[in-house]
Amino acid sequence: MAEVSEKKWYVVRAVSGQEAKIKDYIASEISRLGYDSYLEDILVPTEKVVQIRNGKKINKEKVYYPGYIMIKADLSGEIPHVIKSVTNVIGFLGETKGGEPIPLRSAEVNRLLGKVDELELSKEHVAIPYSIGENIKVIDGPFNGFSGTIEHVNEEKRKLQVMVKIFGRKTPLELSYMQVEKI
């Protein structure tokens, strides 16, 4: 077996939505063939996103670069072939027909990995479930049962400015995301 040379970061293109499954499969395939020493790291950059569904908070991992898997490996010998033969792998990013896969430059790696670390540190991003002009129904508070139109969305405070008809007059209300639902 040849001496393992320096491991570099590469980007593997894969079928979007299957990244985690493909990542696990690449790792187990390399392991099964006894090439563990060639593979140092394999990851799918994700961020945590909080979504609100039916008034409930749902934490989800969202893939940051859909269709891409980062892999740190020594791509000598059979390794590129093993990775490419994995189901749902499209190939390496930046490879030319019949050419060698091109490793990422360290600046790119630091940016991508920095992005991953940054996402880990940054407070959870909240997917804003409402947009201006949308019709909603108030499901909580003194105006329960009224319906209205969203005039303004305040992301930081997680509040909505809603125009509601009360006694035939349009009245602005400030409501939290949890107090309304889409019609």
Mean pLDDT, range 55-77, rounded to an integer: 88
**CATH code for residues 135-182:** 2.30.30.30
Rounded to whole angstroms, the Cα distance separating 183 from 173 reads 17
Asked whether the predicted pLDDT for residue 1 surpasses 50, the reply is: no
Would the pTM of this model clear 0.75, i.e. be above it? no
Domain boundaries, the chain: 8-126, 135-182
Mean pLDDT, range 51-65, rounded to an integer: 81
Starting at the edge strand found earlier in the chain, the sheet holding 39-43 runs 39-43, 68-73, 8-14, 89-92
Mean pLDDT, range 14-27, rounded to an integer: 94
Contact 100, 79 (CB under 8 A): no
Asked whether the predicted pLDDT for residue 163 surpasses 50, the reply is: yes
Equal CATH topology for 8-126 and 135-182: no
CATH T-level assignment (fold) for domain 8-126: Alpha-Beta Plaits (3.30.70)
Mean pLDDT, range 5-27, rounded to an integer: 93
